[in-house]
Amino acid sequence: MLSVLFSLMTTSLNNLALAYERQGKYEATEPLLLRGYTIFEKVLGGEHADTKDTLGKLVELYEKTGETEKAAEFRAKQVN
């Protein structure tokens, strides 16, 4: 039950992050995606589709904002 609540909360964080990203508010997007990723990774594990999806969104955000080192760091996590 607890994992379902965490999943719902994290999905809401990701949806809010997406809304901010669409508005170009990247500084508000990053902490939401990072929080969502951390929760998904702890609750569902690194191999779960939701965790990997959020990880991919972080990579896209960092690439879009020119933060290539951060993008590379999170891209490496996608491979592992």
DSSP string, 40-79: HHHHH-TTSHHHHHHHHHHHHHHHHTT-HHHHHHHHHHHH
Domain count, the chain: 1
Question: What is the token pair recorded at 55?
Answer: 């990880």
Amino acid at 76: A
Chain centre distance of CA 22: 15
Q: For residues 19 and 38, give the distance between their C-alpha atoms in angstroms, rounded to a whole number.
A: 20
Confidence of residue 56 (pLDDT cuts 50, 70, 90): very high
Q: Which domain holds residue 53?
A: 2-79
Confidence of residue 1 (pLDDT cuts 50, 70, 90): low
pLDDT per position as a tens digit, 8-55 = 888 899 899 999 999 999 999 999 999 999 988 988 899 999 899 999
CATH of the domain at 66: 1.25.40.10
